[in-house]
Each structure stands twice: as C-alpha cells, then as structure tokens.
Amino acid sequence: MTIQESQEEIVEEFALFDEWMDKYEHIIELGKDLPIIKEQHKTEENLIKGCQSRVWLYAEMKGENIIYTANSDAIITKGIIALMIRVFSNHTPKEIAQSDLFFIDQIGLKEHLSPTRSNGLVSMVKQIKMYSIAFQAKA
C-alpha cells in the first residue's frame, strides 16, 4: 500500500465515527497497541521534547525501506503516532520525502498538529521527513 493509499484508508476508517468520543476512544486503543520503541532507543538523542508530552522516535533501514518506531508518555499522542507510523513506516526514503501528510487534517485532528499544543507531534513529523532525507543522502 502506498503512503497515499494508507492515508485514504485511515480517512475512511475515521468516517465511521460520528462522535468525537468514539474517535478518541479509537485513538486511545491505537495508542495502547503501538509497537513501542526498544528501550535502548529511548534515549535523550531520540527524544522530541514538547511542553506537554514527550515523544521518542527512532528510524532504521531494513532493506530498501525505513522502519520507524516511537513512543510517547501521553496516550492520545501515542495513538496519533501509531497512525503516522502506519502511514510512513516501511517505505523507501524517497517515497517518504516526497509524500504529503493530509490524513490528520481530514480526520479532524488538525488541532493536535498545532504548534501551540506543544505535544511534540509537529517536531515528530519534521523528524520523520528529516530521517528520510538523511537516509536518501546516505544511499
């Protein structure tokens, strides 16, 4: 599935929820299931510090593709991270670098990507892209 297709799939999934509460319950569940970052990668170096919550992000190459793992101390942030990883992980650096992030807006979670929220998510999106550019440069 391409990055575009994964995003479209998520938008469709979220269209099922009429109530904000159902949507958040789903995100919380996703957060609980997130394949979390290995303890050895939960380092200061991989920490994205927000004012409200902390995010750890680690990236490594497996064959042609980048594999992202991440964690957060806040569960809603973690749920949104799970969605991001579903979209971006296991794609080539070039695909990731060239992609647009649109699903967050379309499922009505734009507020979580606002810089004022300071939950580390904005920096995380930047960091995902940075890794793809860095791995591209190395290749």
| Interface residue with other proteins, options 71, 77, 90, 99 (CB under 8 A) | 77
As measured in angstroms, the least distance from the Cβ of 54 to other proteins is: 7
User: Shortest CA distance to 124 belongs to which of 89, 94, 81, 90?
Assistant: 81
Does 82 engage in binding with other proteins (CB under 8 A)?
no
Give me the 13-42 binding string for other proteins, x by CB under 8 A, dash otherwise: -------xx--xx--x--------------
Cα torsion angle, 36, 42, 48, 52, sign: positive
The single residue of 15, 28, 51, 139 carrying the catalytic annotation is 51
**Residue 116 and residue 21 in contact, taking contact as beta carbons nearer than 8 Å:** no
Catalytic residue set: 51
